[in-house]
Amino acid sequence: MECPSCGVEMVDLAGDDQTLRKCGECGGLWLDIADLNRMLLHRNLPGLETLGGKMNADAMSGQCPECLVDLVRVEGGEKTEPLGYDTCEACGGVFLEEEFKDAQDFAAAEKIIIEFFKRFSPRTKKKVAGG
């Protein structure tokens, strides 16, 4: 499978019944939506479809390496620390870029993915008592 960002062949990082694909050039990760949701739910986080975020119709994201359709950019996170990922509307695959360069195995990649989506998810603001 070729990286949607730079076209380099991606390598597999195998885990327990899951496989991530990592680009050796840009460090991007490709994962299946079912595997991502399994990771998130296993850590008591909501599934991807409930994490929020907004589609950026102007972003040029590349093509899905599975379906060869255009990827859609989803942006979220805090205003001071915006985050984004690319997704395929056909197969649901997710592409995460750049900050995953240091992930050399499945466990390291999984840890970084979980932290990414914790930061991506909108935070609930605490209500001020009395007002």
Domain that includes residue 36, residue range: 10-120
C-alpha to C-alpha distance for 34 and 19, rounded to whole angstroms: 11
Q: pTM for the complete prediction?
A: 0.85
In this prediction, residue 126 carries a pLDDT of 41
Q: Is 128 inside any structural domain? A: no
* Residue 2 is assigned to a structural domain of this protein: no
Q: What is the mean pLDDT of the chain?
A: 86
Whether residue 1 lies inside any domain: the answer is no
Give the chain's domain count.
Answer: 1
Provide the strand spans (E) within the chain.
Answer: 10-15, 18-23, 29-31, 54-56, 71-78, 81-88, 94-96
Residue pair 48/41 in contact (Cβ under 8 Å)? The answer is no
In a domain, residue 46? The reply is yes
The reported pLDDT for the residue numbered 49 is: 87
- One pLDDT digit (tens) per residue for the chain, 131 residues: 999 988 999 999 888 777 899 998 888 999 999 999 999 999 998 898 888 889 998 887 789 999 999 999 999 988 888 999 999 999 999 999 867 777 888 998 999 999 999 999 765 444 444 44
